Structure 1
Amino acid sequence: MRSRRVIMIVGNGEVPEGAAATIDAADLVIRFNDCRSVGRGGTRTDVVAVCNTGRPALSMLGGGRWKTSAPVRQAREIWSVRSAAKFAAMRAALANTHPDLDDFCDDYTTGFESFARATGRPHRIVPAATHERLEQDLARFGPAPYVAPSSGLVVIADILSGIASADDEIVLAGFGHSGWEWHPFAAERRYVDALAAAGRLRRLNPLPTSDLSQGA
Structure 2
Amino acid sequence: MSRVIMIVGNGEVPDGAAATIDAADVVVRFNDCRSVGKGGNKTDIVAVCNTGRPALAMLGGGRWKTSKPVRQARAIWSVRSGAKFAAMRAKLAVTHPDLDDFCDDYTAGFESFARATGRPHRVIPAGRQEGLERDLARFEPPPYVVPSSGLLVIADILSSFASDRDDVVLAGFGHSGWEWHPFATERRYVEALASEGRLRRLDQSSFSDLVPRSLNHVL
TM-score band (shorter)?
Answer: over 0.9
User: Deviations for 1:142-193, whole angstroms, at most 9, x for unmatched residues?
Assistant: 1110000000000000001111111001000000000000000000000000
Aligned counterpart for 2:128 among listed residues 125, 130, 139: 130
* Partner Cα distance (2:130, 2:75) in 1: 24
Work out the CA distance in 1 between the residues paired with 2:25 and 2:206. 21
Q: Which runs of 4+ in 1 moved over 2 A?
A: 206-212
Tell me the residue number matched to 1:151: 149
- Give the corresponding residue for 2:185: 187
Q: Residue type matched to 2:171 in 1?
A: A
The letter for the 1-side match of 2:44 is D
- In structure 2, the partner of 1:65 is 63
Aligned to 2:41: 43
Of the three residues 43, 52, 57, the one matched with 2:50 is 52
| RMSD of Structure 2 on Structure 1 (CA) | 1.1
- Which residue does 1:5 correspond to in 2? 3
Aligned length: 213
Q: CA deviation at 1:205?
A: 1.4
Give the drift of 1:215.
Answer: 4.5
Deviations 1:93-152 (A, max 9, x none): 000000000000000000000000000000000011101100000001111100000000
CA gap of 1:96–1:26, structure 2 versus 1, over 3 A, is same
Question: Which residue matches 2:217?
Answer: none
Aligned to 2:80: 82
Q: What TM-score does the superposition give when structure 1 sets the normalisation length? A: 0.96
Q: Percent identity?
A: 79
SS at match of 2:63: helix
Q: Structure 2: any 5+ residue segments left out of the alignment?
A: 214-219
Residue 166 (structure 2) aligned to one of 155, 165, 168: 168
Aligned partners of 1:165 and 1:210: how far apart in 2?
22
> Normalising by structure 2, what TM-score?
0.95
Give the SS at the match of 1:15: coil
The whole-number CA distance in structure 2 between the counterparts of 1:152 and 1:160 is 12
* Partner amino acid, structure 1, of 2:20: T
> What is the distance in 2 between the residues matched to 1:129 and 1:209?
34
Any conservation in 2 of the 1:21–1:215 contact (CA below 8 Å)?
A: no
Distance 1:87 1:135 in 2: 14
Distance 1:207 1:64 in 2: 39
Separation of aligned partners in 1, 2:156 and 2:42: 21
Rounded to whole Å, the distance in 2 between the matches of 1:154 and 1:174 is 15
Matches within 5 A, 1:101-120: 101-120=99-118
Residue 207 of structure 1: how far off its partner (Å): 2.6
Shift, 1:206, TM fit: 2.3
SS in structure 2 of the partner of residue 29 of structure 1: strand
1:210 & 1:93 partners in 2: Cα distance? Answer: 49
Instruction: Find the counterpart in structure 2 of residue 207 from structure 1.
Output: 205
Q: Distance in 2 between matches of 1:7 and 1:96?
A: 40
